[in-house]
Amino acid sequence: MDLAFTPEELAFRDEIRTWVKDNLPADIAHKVHNAMRLTRDDMQRWAKILGKKGWLGWGWPTQFGGPGWGAVQKHLFEEECALAGAPRVVPFGPVMVAPVIMAFGNAEQQKRFLPGIASGEVWWSQGYSEPGAGSDLASLKTRAERVGDKYIVNGQKTWTTLGQYGEWIFCLVRTSNEGKPQTGISFLLIDMKSPGITVRPIKLLDGECEVNEVWFDNVEVPAENLVGEENKGWNYAKHLLAHERTNIADVNRAKRELERLKRIAKTEGVYDDLRFRDEIAKLEVDIVALEMLVLRVLSAEKSGKNSLDIAGLLKIRGSEIQQRYAELMMQAAGPFSLPSIFEAMDAGWQGNFPGGVLANAPLAGNYFNMRKTTIYGGSNEVQRNIVAQTVLG
Amino acid sequence: MDFDFSDEQEQLRDAVRKWVDKAYDFERRRAIVAAGGFDRAAYGEMAELGLTGLFVSEAHGGMGMGPNEAMVTLEELGRGIVLEPLAQTLIASATLQTHAPTALQAAWLSRMAEGTALVVLAHQERGARYQLQRCTTQATQSGGQWTLTGNKSLVAAGDQADAFIVPAMVNGSGGQASPEMGLFLVERNASGVRTQAYGTQDGSRAAEVAMNAAPGQLITLNGLSALEEAVDIGMACACAEAVGVMDKTLAITVEYMNTRKQFGVNIASFQALRHRVADMKMQLELGRSMSYYATLKLHAPAPERRRALARAKYQLGTSMRFIGQQAVQLHGGIAVTDEYIVSHYFKKLTQLDMTFGDTLHQLGEVSARMQDTAGVFA
């Protein structure tokens, strides 16, 4: 039992810290620290900087050009990036599809797709959810029919995060109606420039277009873009979930946002109001406890001695905490979180009004936006079913 | 960063668990409660396992172990809701070993290790709540001999203990800040000491202790920081014990849900109940994580240690309240009977929350000690 990181781990952390400090563009960090709107260019600029260093695929093994880091090193890298104000890496390429291509794709697919993901050149999207397939994902209906050396894809995906920027999309598609719903699903890589694809951004309650609907109308996909075997896609998607590990908890970002909450509370004059301060204190304990839980998982991964099957707990707790800090930030600003000024989230906005600056205008929007966290990635109620299964059988 | 237990720690866990399972079953516990809530024989059995000397150096006949081993031990005692207050022995032996003059150590530590002397912390007073600096007991020195006058409350096994560790103000300025507090050892059989004992809600035993010019031996004049250390050890012990109690409470509940039938099926099949169990598992694992944190921070510098222990005890208090209440609800009526075991776990969880500072007090401590940054390492 030991809480401290090893000297080697601490040296590694210092190396990362120095590199991030030297390479993270200040304008991007400023936006992240103040929760301003990030453009496509902001996100891709950082991705390419990481890509050039070989760290965009920071979880990748060396055989595919990754750094080959262990669980603790990956965590420290993520923590340093988050605390320094780096944007979250858009996960669909390097974190989600790449591990599937590595594990189940053929050599040709690996050669073709992995370099573009590792460098940050190619923007990937995820095509899982459908209007009729949310928590019950296996009921998805988007069809891929094999005709000669092609698949013809018809159907609709939805909630496609940042799909308006997507160049490629990995999809779960139905290739068979035989047997259980899970057994007729395949994993298909689709060029989003293909004729027949329509992407329509969905305006969300905060006024932002973060997600999209994606329609497939007789889209022709070369059969060589099938990953692994036909009708085995569900297994590959489950493999991907196993890769989500601890970053699903997002505890590093929570630590950064707790600092921001305290800054806002001080500015707004509620930090010394004990009723409000106690709410921050509760959140602080929640975040420390979540961090300890994450560290326990990392320790178990490192030693391989005890397996800790608590991904469901990390998702539930992490998402609740995200919602809580967003809610407290809004409450700290009180009525000054209410002005709905779209430009207020852009860097450089001069919000000077006769009564002063309206700098906290985006905080209600952020609160509204964060309601998604307990819904996406397997709703928290589905997660509770999974946790209960491990406890009760 | 490593949360695996060593082989020696696993062996210690096995030994304690075996003793609890074989020698401290529910029937024996019930008999001890009926007889007053403290059993010298059971305490002696813990001593034979070496537990009473866990913190005592080998030079004084103990095992010379540390907080990690204490945590392992208390988790297991918690699983069996053992009544005899081993945590008190750990607190007292650590305090004497760190702060007492060598003569005082020599007089007590080896007897504490072998289980023939029980020394407990007597620090609580009426009206002090959990504020350690609030102390009205007075100590005066005359001709090289200290005498203490004042009342202490809720002293664990107070009429069974052989001696008390007592904080007292040394210059007549009660209620003032740190430099004036001393820590003393007062023997129960000393002149001017009177105890009046009672059972507590968890089935164990406590006493009011009155001292009227009772002779005491000085442990340290740096009393408040020594008392804070002692209480922090107590908090870490309470956290570890809580993990054991919660772990067993959940296990009992799960077993019950998989056998109890209503509407023709096991009640474990109902989603409304399953989600409560998922939330109990959450509170258990958050609590376990923060118990590790508490124990691993015991050697940190005082401000960091105090902040960490407050965070931990707040989490454990929250977890205990939730798990205790849910366990009762999921069992239904059987859980509010004295006959069924889970009511005793519920009462233990409730009492542990109020031991060394309840959630509301700890929240105030966390709130007062907040800094700009926060995390496991800050």
Domain boundary assignment for chain A: 7-89, 124-231, 249-392
A249-392 has the same fold as A124-231: no
CB B253 within 8 A of CB B205: no
Of A259, A281, A393, the CB nearest to B258: A393
Judge whether B12 is closer than 8 Å to chain A, CB to CB.
no
Judge whether B255 is closer than 8 Å to chain A, CB to CB.
no
CB B203 within 8 A of CB B29: yes
Of A4, A259, A299, the CB nearest to B372: A259
User: What mean pLDDT do residues A242-250 have?
Assistant: 70
Of A278, A34, A271, A291, nearest in space to B296 by CA: A291
CB B321 within 8 A of CB B349: yes
Which chain B positions have a beta carbon within 8 Å of A293's beta carbon? 285-286, 289
Strands B138-142 and A356-357, bridge-based pairing? unpaired
- Residue A2's φ and ψ, nearest 5 degrees, are -160, 130
Which chain A positions have a beta carbon within 8 Å of B68's beta carbon? 1
- In angstroms, the separation between the Cα of residue A300 and the nearest Cα of chain B is 7
Of B278, B367, B376, the CB nearest to A384: B278
Judge whether B5 is closer than 8 Å to chain A, CB to CB.
yes
Q: How far apart are CA A293 and CA B237, in angstroms?
A: 20
Domains of chain B, CATH where assigned: 7-117 (1.10.540.10), 120-221 (2.40.110.10), 226-368 (1.20.140.10)
Judge whether B364 is closer than 8 Å to chain A, CB to CB.
yes
At A295-332, the pLDDT tens digits run: 999 999 888 877 777 889 999 999 999 999 999 999 99
Confidence of residue A242 (pLDDT cuts 50, 70, 90): low
pLDDT score recorded for residue A355:
79
B181 alpha-carbon distance from chain centroid: 23
Q: How far apart are CA A227 and CA A205, in angstroms?
A: 36
List b or e across A249-266, with b for residues whose CB sees 16 or more CB atoms inside 10 angstroms.
bbbbbbbbbbbebbbbbe
Which chain B positions have a beta carbon within 8 Å of A313's beta carbon? 281-282, 285
- Rounded to the nearest integer, the mean pLDDT of chain B is 96
Which chain A positions have a beta carbon within 8 Å of B298's beta carbon? none
pLDDT score recorded for residue B176:
47
The structure tokens listed for A385 are 């079913």
Residues 313-332 of A with CB under 8 A from B: 313, 316-317
pLDDT score recorded for residue B178:
44
> Above 60 in pLDDT, residue B149?
yes
Residue B322, number of CB atoms within 10 A of its CB: 20
Yes or no, beta carbons of B282 and A317 under 8 Å apart? yes
Fold of A249-392: Butyryl-CoA Dehydrogenase, subunit A; domain 3 (1.20.140)
Of B10, B4, B18, nearest in space to B46 by CA: B18
Q: Name the pTM for this structure.
A: 0.96
Q: How far apart are CA B165 and CA B160, in angstroms?
A: 14
Question: Is the pLDDT higher at A393 or at B144?
Answer: A393
User: What mean pLDDT do residues A272-280 have?
Assistant: 97
Share of chain A above pLDDT 70, in %: 98
Yes or no, beta carbons of B3 and A1 under 8 Å apart? yes
- In angstroms, the separation between the Cα of residue B273 and the nearest Cα of chain A is 9
pLDDT score recorded for residue A246:
61
> Above 60 in pLDDT, residue A292?
yes
Yes or no, beta carbons of B366 and A391 under 8 Å apart? no
Give chain B's count of helices (H) and strands (E): 11, 9
Judge whether A277 is closer than 8 Å to chain B, CB to CB.
yes
CB pairs under 8 A between A and B: 146
- In angstroms, the separation between the Cα of residue A277 and the nearest Cα of chain B is 6
Judge whether A177 is closer than 8 Å to chain B, CB to CB.
no
> Above 80 in pLDDT, residue A357?
no
Which chain B positions have a beta carbon within 8 Å of A261's beta carbon? none
Residue of chain A whose Cα is closest to the Cα of B257: A392
Please give the angle made by the CA atoms of B110, B113 and B118, to the nearest 5 degrees: 100
Confidence of residue B174 (pLDDT cuts 50, 70, 90): very low
- In angstroms, the separation between the Cα of residue A263 and the nearest Cα of chain B is 8
**Which DSSP state fits A309?**
-
Return all residues near A342 (Cβ < 8 A) that are at least 6 apart: A207
At A147-158, the pLDDT tens digits run: 999 999 999 999
The structure tokens listed for A150 are 């092609």
At B77-112, the pLDDT tens digits run: 999 999 999 999 999 999 999 999 999 999 999 999
Which chain B positions have a beta carbon within 8 Å of A325's beta carbon? none
Of A288, A296, A392, the CB nearest to B258: A392
Of B257, B286, B373, the CB nearest to A289: B286
Of B236, B249, B246, nearest in space to B311 by CA: B236
- In angstroms, the separation between the Cα of residue B22 and the nearest Cα of chain A is 26
pLDDT score recorded for residue B139:
96
Of A73, A44, A46, nearest in space to A61 by CA: A73
Confidence of residue A360 (pLDDT cuts 50, 70, 90): confident
User: What mean pLDDT do residues B219-236 have?
Assistant: 97
Which chain A positions have a beta carbon within 8 Å of B274's beta carbon? 384-385, 388, 392
Question: Is the pLDDT higher at A110 or at A34?
Answer: A110
Which chain B positions have a beta carbon within 8 Å of A274's beta carbon? 367
Which chain B positions have a beta carbon within 8 Å of A295's beta carbon? 1, 3, 289, 376
Of A293, A383, A387, the CB nearest to B289: A293
- In angstroms, the separation between the Cα of residue B278 and the nearest Cα of chain A is 5
Of B26, B19, B59, B61, nearest in space to B43 by CA: B19
Q: How far apart are CA B244 and CA B82, in angstroms?
A: 11
Judge whether A335 is closer than 8 Å to chain B, CB to CB.
no
CB A158 within 8 A of CB A172: no
Confidence of residue A243 (pLDDT cuts 50, 70, 90): low
Return all residues near B135 (Cβ < 8 A) that are at least 6 apart: B123, B125, B128, B150, B167, B168, B169, B174, B175, B181
Confidence of residue A354 (pLDDT cuts 50, 70, 90): confident
pLDDT score recorded for residue A244:
59
Give the E-state strand segments of chain B in sequence order: 119-121, 138-142, 145-156, 163-169, 181-187, 193-199, 205-220, 261-262, 265-266
Which chain B positions have a beta carbon within 8 Å of A316's beta carbon? 278, 282
Which chain B positions have a beta carbon within 8 Å of A1's beta carbon? 2-6, 9, 68, 292, 295-296
Which chain B positions have a beta carbon within 8 Å of A256's beta carbon? none
Judge whether B57 is closer than 8 Å to chain A, CB to CB.
no
Fold of A124-231: Butyryl-CoA Dehydrogenase, subunit A; domain 2 (2.40.110)
**A306 forms bridges with which residues in the sheet?**
none
**B205 forms bridges with which residues in the sheet?**
B199
Judge whether B292 is closer than 8 Å to chain A, CB to CB.
yes
At B283-327, the pLDDT tens digits run: 999 999 999 999 999 999 999 999 999 999 999 999 999 999 999
User: What mean pLDDT do residues B31-35 have?
Assistant: 98
Residue of chain B whose Cα is closest to the Cα of A313: B282
Please give the angle made by the CA atoms of B185, B113 and B211, to the nearest 5 degrees: 20
Confidence of residue A391 (pLDDT cuts 50, 70, 90): very high
Q: How far apart are CA B54 and CA A256, in angstroms?
A: 40
Q: How far apart are CA B15 and CA B241, in angstroms?
A: 16
